[in-house]
Structure 1
């Protein structure tokens, strides 16, 4: 699983955690299991969604390759309710199966070619219990979400514990074919220090995702277009996938 070099660092992961608050998307994922179950959060980051599941009585494992992200997740998990594992979503073996596997925060888009993506989907499929579900989202390419990733439209500010006031904005450096390269620019307002994270995302369409899911062995797929569970249509903001083993 690709690691953003910046978020391998604890100090950058702290900034990420302060700005990435899961609202409607987090509520959607939390609504998926009707009874306590075994959940695997692939690319769990700083653990915000995993911890919400644990608070609701589920048995949760979070897997992420970035040391900084996992360090912040463990700091937040003061009661030790989640099992945190350093690992790569493209190739992992946990020796158990799960009722629900999730990838939140558009993690699916960090895998930049079919081979990487198929490896992730196949690894997830191997770890699903019979009848289990893999659920994730990807931004729908026709809406061209990256066109709004400008300093003027994305600038926001928050108070980061132990750091002080921090401002962030996003700016696209390059967009080509299915790919977008962009920066997250953090400014520590007390000192004026700037910290920049560079990322590249893939924007695969429904047909590509469907083909890869079939190749990975998923038998049934439900397609949604937004967090209110509306069906996927050409101009939906999201491609939300619920794939069954």
Structure 2
């Protein structure tokens, strides 16, 4: 079950406004070019920001997400209907022979159990062509990002087209490593409605991630920095083995 922030019909349309400029996505466009990827699978595509950029660059794109409300937002951006949108997890995607699969933002950390993570890696493996690539980011546990989150309790108000002014509050609700839980509370000032969204992320270390990739049919080619967040993220570049 996807978190309400992605699946609730009132929250999905406000997500992009609060998420701000996606400067992090430029690096993925660059990597797609570096790898010569023409067919790309965007796993956990959400509201479609990266998928649309990839399609606008002339690539064939499939976006998959379990949150139908987010996919509705994504489809509304795909004016030329160039992208194939799939509702479900990556195991719902047929064998694509994709050159590249990507997971941006927190996607790789939402798989809390080893079984869910393994199923995801295997599903991506099946969708890639031989020697196709998987690129994703995950937060470095040693940076203890949750401590910064807990210290930032400011309320934010944004004017959202179609919804009017919306107030967002954030709190860290539990730290039981490797799991960190937090809650967003949204208040729609036009009618006073309040909607909350609870999320949990799993923080995996470098060695754990690499071992899981090797065990599920990948070879790690590189582990990079996120250019816009140096020292905060691992960006894994892996190749599907035979």
TM-score by length of 1: 0.90
1:153 Cα offset (Å): 4.7
1:154 Cα offset (Å): 5.3
What is the CA deviation profile of residues 69-96 of structure 1, one whole-angstrom value per residue up to 9, with x for unaligned ones?
111111221221211011213x234132
Structure 2 residue aligned with 1:86: 87
Structure 2 residue aligned with 1:148: 148
For 1:31-50, what aligned pairs fall within 5 Å after superposition? 31-34=30-33, 35=36, 37-50=38-51
Residue 212 (structure 1) aligned with residue 207 (structure 2): no
Give secondary structure in 1 for the equivalent of 2:196. Answer: strand
Give secondary structure in 2 for the equivalent of 1:33. Answer: helix
Residues 108 and 137, structure 1, Cα contact 8 Å, conserved in 2? yes
Structure 1 residue aligned with 2:120: 120
Unaligned 5+ residue runs, structure 2?
Answer: none
How large is the Cα RMSD of the aligned pairs?
1.9
Structure 2 residue aligned with 1:138: 138
Equivalenced residue count is 238
1:221 Cα offset (Å): 2.9
Residues 6 and 12, structure 1, Cα contact 8 Å, conserved in 2? yes
Structure 2 residue aligned with 1:23: 22
1:192 Cα offset (Å): 3.5
What is the CA deviation profile of residues 76-135 of structure 1, one whole-angstrom value per residue up to 9, with x for unaligned ones?
21221211011213x234132101100112101000021111111111112112332101
Distance 1:120 1:4, change over 3 A: same
Structure 2 residue aligned with 1:100: 100
- Counterpart-to-counterpart distance in 2, 1:218 and 1:63: 21
Structure 1 residue aligned with 2:235: 240
Unaligned 5+ residue runs, structure 1?
Answer: 231-235
Residues 24 and 227, structure 1, Cα contact 8 Å, conserved in 2? no
For 1:220-235, what aligned pairs fall within 5 Å after superposition? 220-227=220-227
Residues 10 and 71, structure 1, Cα contact 8 Å, conserved in 2? no
TM-score by length of 2: 0.91
Give secondary structure in 2 for the equivalent of 1:54. Answer: helix
Residues 8 and 69, structure 2, Cα contact 8 Å, conserved in 1? yes
1:180 Cα offset (Å): 0.8
Give secondary structure in 1 for the equivalent of 2:147. Answer: helix
Distance 1:147 1:228, change over 3 A: closer
